[in-house]
Structure 1
Amino acid sequence: MSVNTESIIHNIMERISGIGYVKPEDIPNIDLYMDQVTTFMEAQLAHSKRYKDDKILTKTMINNYAKNNLLPSPEKKRYSKEHLLVLIFIYYFKNILSINDIQTLLGPLTDKYFKSDENLDLTSIYTEVFSMEKGQIEALQKELLERYEIAQGTFKDAPEEDRDFLKLFSFICLLSFDVYVKKMLIEQMIDDLRATTDYDPKHKSKK
């Protein structure tokens, strides 16, 4: 079984280099209708698709987020800049967290900072968080290369025809374990947050 692991790691590094985030200044300051929201999100987050035909957000998804109190309801069927910021957070969180966990995490933010007149609002929170994430790309590339080198040192005595595949399997296992541990830690922090704040997942009010 022939697997070109060097080509795979090269493609991974290339894709990571192209990772960006939706800049606050790129988000319209005017309210948008549903079709405009989905078009905007599709254009801005297209780089994160696995397959070309994948949808970033659909009308059904957005309606369900509002129904489940993840997203404040639109005003007269129009969505503000703050709505878009919340949708971006949801988009990233939904790949690793349950709806209930996202409610616990975003509920306090939307309750206090959605349409806030204070200096600290959703835009400033979003800007600080995502600019920090963007700065981690170089560190992530270094970390991935270290794990790749570790995986390349495995299965030296395996049959030659299987060696590349087994090394790739080792690399995927290392990355998967990393994701598993981080996901477990995130869930624990959210559980602690829920217990500490006694926050209602529906985030309509505190108990």
Structure 2
Amino acid sequence: MPDSFVEYHKWEQHLAEITLPKWDELPKFDLYMDQVVAYVNDTLGPLGVDSVTPAMINNYVKHNIILAPVKKKYQVMQVADILLIGLLKPTYSMDTIRQGMDQVTASLFPKRAYDTFIDLTLAGLQGKREDATAKNLNDQMMRIAVDAVLDKMKSEKLLTLTKAIVTPKPVEQK
């Protein structure tokens, strides 16, 4: 088996070992900005997604993507939203993310919606996508979103590995 193929499978095994916090495992106390940034980046870092910055979070508040902090402190709901945004942002526009979150939480409590999304994500990371059956349209929407995020991560990893083997030649103009 070629080294890059082995490397890809090791990377997939690494993904399968990643854990993400369910709602009840999120911090039980309010966090200041620097604590939110550290928590989110520590949580999502093993997935290789881009880091969240204070400027990004301030933009999310400014554009009503997340609720403003109360006395400069972020609560569980905001931390959950920032985690979801961090996962979804490489694949979807901010408007699509907010609309999707609003749609899902219109019929599900935020805790249940968040936990369902995390369950679907963990099933996908562990290669158990087929085990994650949708019970309704919201679950199906979340499943498709998770699949898109994971497929993007995997295709980018494969592209990186294949570029290391063979560098494509530029297209010639005639």
> 1:97 maps to what in 2?
92
Residue 76 of structure 1 is aligned with which of 71, 76, 85?
Answer: 71
User: 4+ runs of 1 displaced by more than 4 Å?
Assistant: none
In the alignment, structure 2 segments of 5+ residues that lack a partner are: 130-150, 152-163, 169-174
Superposition map of 1:46-65 within 5 A: 46-49=45-48, 56-65=51-60
2:83 partner SS: helix
Who wins on radius of gyration, i.e. which is larger? 1
TM-score by length of 1: 0.55
Letter in 2 for 1:82: M
| Local SS of the residue matching 2:57 | helix
Number of equivalences: 133
Structure 2 CA distance for aligned equivalents of residues 69 and 39 of structure 1: 22
Distance 1:17 1:107 in 2: 29
SS in 1 for 2:128: helix
Report the equivalent of 1:132. 120
Per-residue deviation, 1:109: 5.2
* Residue pair 2:29, 2:75 contacting (<8 A) in 1 also: yes
Q: Does the 8 Å CA contact 1:24/1:123 hold for their aligned counterparts?
A: yes
Distance 1:29 1:129, change over 3 A: same
CA shift digits 1:36-94 (9 cap, x unpaired): 111211222221226xxxx6211101000111111111111111001011111111110
Closer, same or farther: CA 108–75 of 1 in aligned 2, 3 Å: farther
Note the residue ranges of structure 1 that are not aligned, 5 or more in a row: 114-119, 145-163, 170-207
Show the 5 A alignment for 1:31-180.
Answer: 31-49=30-48, 56-108=51-103, 112=106, 120-136=108-124, 137-139=126-128, 165=165
CA distance in 2, matches of 1:24, 1:12: 27
After superposition, give the CA deviation of every residue in 1:151-198 in whole Å (9 maximum; x if it has no partner). Answer: xxxxxxxxxxxxx946x98xxxxxxxxxxxxxxxxxxxxxxxxxxxxx
SS in structure 2 opposite 1:22?
Answer: coil
- For residue 191 of structure 1, what is the aligned residue in structure 2? none
How far residue 108 of structure 1 moved from its aligned partner, in angstroms, is 4.2
Amino acid at match of 2:68: S
Q: Tell whether the 8 Å contact from 2:44 to 2:86 is kept in structure 1 after alignment.
A: no
Give the percent of matched residue pairs that are identical in Structure 1 and Structure 2: 23
**TM-score of the pair, normalised by structure 2:** 0.64
C-alpha root-mean-square deviation of aligned residues, in Å?
2.9
Judged with a 3 Å threshold, the aligned counterparts in structure 2 of structure 1 residues 62 and 4 are, in CA distance, closer, same or farther, namely same
